[in-house]
Amino acid sequence: MRSFVHVRVYGVPLWGWLAAAVLYAGVAGVAIELAWQRSVSAIATVGSYRLDLYAASLKSELGRYEMVPGIVARQDSVHALLRARTDAQPAFLHAVDTYLAAVNREAGSLAVYLIEPHGTVIAASNWDQPLSFVGTNVSYRPYFKDALAHGSGRFFGIGTNTGVPGLYYASAVREADGSIGAAAVKISVDALESAWRVPAEAAMVVDANGVIVISTVPAWKFTALRPITPERQTQIQASRQYAGRAVEPLLYRRLGDWGTAGWFAQFPDWTHPGRYRRFLAMSKPAPQAGDSIVVLLDVAPARHQQYLALAFVTGLFLIAGLYGLYATQHRRAIAEKLNAQDALRRANERLEVTVQQRTAELTSANARMRQEIAERINAEQSLRDSQQELVHAGKLAVLGQMAAGLTHELNQPLVAIRTLSDNARTFFERNQPASAIANLERISRLVDGMALLTGELKTFARRPGIERVPVSLNEAVAHAVLIYESRIRDEQVQLDMHVAVGTMVYAEPSQLQQVIVNLLGNALDAVATEGRRTIAIDAHDGDEHGRVMFTISDSGTGIAPEVLAHLFEPFVTTKPRGRGLGLGLAITSRLVEGFGGRISAENVPGGGARFRIDFVAATAQGTANGR
Ligand code: ADP
Q: What is the pLDDT of residues 177-198, one digit of tens each?
A: 888 999 999 998 888 888 888 8
Nearest ligand 1 atom, CA 586: 6
Residue 622 has pLDDT above 50, yes or no: no
Q: Does ligand 1 come within 6 angstroms of the Cβ of 558?
A: yes
Amino acid making up residue 396: L
Per-residue model confidence (pLDDT) at position 42? 93
Indicate the pLDDT class of residue 527, thresholds 50, 70 and 90.
Answer: very high
d(CA 144, CA 596): 159
Indicate the pLDDT class of residue 503, thresholds 50, 70 and 90.
Answer: very high
Residue bearing the CA closest to ligand 1, atom 18: 559
**In angstroms, what CA-CA distances link 174 with 72, 120, 224?**
12, 17, 36
Q: Does ligand 1 come within 6 angstroms of the Cβ of 580?
A: yes
Per-residue model confidence (pLDDT) at position 381? 85
Rounded to the nearest angstrom, the distance between the alpha carbon of 476 and the centre of ligand 1 is 21
CB neighbour class for 264 (10 Å; exposed up to 12, middle 13-18, buried from 19): middle
Rg (CA), the chain: 79
Residue bearing the CA closest to ligand 1, atom 27: 559
Q: What is the pLDDT of residues 380-394, one digit of tens each?
A: 888 777 766 776 666
Residue 105 has pLDDT above 80, yes or no: yes
Rounded to the nearest angstrom, the distance between the alpha carbon of 570 and the centre of ligand 1 is 11
Cα 436–chain centre separation = 120
Per-residue model confidence (pLDDT) at position 39? 93
Amino acid making up residue 305: Q
Per-residue model confidence (pLDDT) at position 79? 92
Closest-CA residue to 233 (of 250, 209, 251, 214): 209
Q: Quickly count helices (H) and strands (E) in the chain.
A: 14, 20
Rounded to the nearest angstrom, the distance between the alpha carbon of 522 and the centre of ligand 1 is 6
Rounded to the nearest angstrom, the distance between the alpha carbon of 585 and the centre of ligand 1 is 7
Q: Does ligand 1 come within 6 angstroms of the Cβ of 575?
A: yes
Q: What is the pLDDT of residues 223-236, one digit of tens each?
A: 998 888 888 888 88
Rounded to the nearest angstrom, the distance between the alpha carbon of 609 and the centre of ligand 1 is 10
Q: Does ligand 1 come within 6 angstroms of the Cβ of 523?
A: yes
Q: What is the pLDDT of residues 345-381, one digit of tens each?
A: 999 999 999 889 988 998 899 899 999 999 888 888 8
Q: Does ligand 1 come within 6 angstroms of the Cβ of 239?
A: no
d(CA 513, CA 473): 9
- Domain positions in the chain: 68-187, 303-402, 463-626
Mean pLDDT throughout 397-409?
Answer: 61
Q: Does ligand 1 come within 6 angstroms of the Cβ of 573?
A: yes
Residue bearing the CA closest to ligand 1, atom 19: 522
Closest-CA residue to 174 (of 166, 165, 183): 183
Per-residue model confidence (pLDDT) at position 96? 92
| Cβ–Cβ < 8 Å for 111, 104 | yes
Mean pLDDT throughout 524-543?
Answer: 92
Q: What is the pLDDT of residues 235-263, one digit of tens each?
A: 888 877 777 777 888 989 999 998 888 99
Per-residue model confidence (pLDDT) at position 627? 38
Q: What is the pLDDT of residues 3-32, one digit of tens each?
A: 566 788 777 788 888 998 999 999 999 999
DSSP string, 89-111: -HHHHHHHHHHHHHHHHHHT-SE
CATH number of 68-187: 3.30.450.20
> Which of 534, 573, 590 to mutate for ligand 1's pocket (most ligand atoms within 8 Å of CB)?
573
Mean pLDDT of the chain: 86
Residue bearing the CA closest to ligand 1, atom 26: 559
Pairing mode of beta strands 212-215, 253-258: unpaired
Indicate the pLDDT class of residue 433, thresholds 50, 70 and 90.
Answer: confident
Per-residue model confidence (pLDDT) at position 625? 40
Four-way CATH pick for 463-626: 3.30.565.10, 3.40.50.740, 3.65.10.10, 3.10.290.10: 3.30.565.10
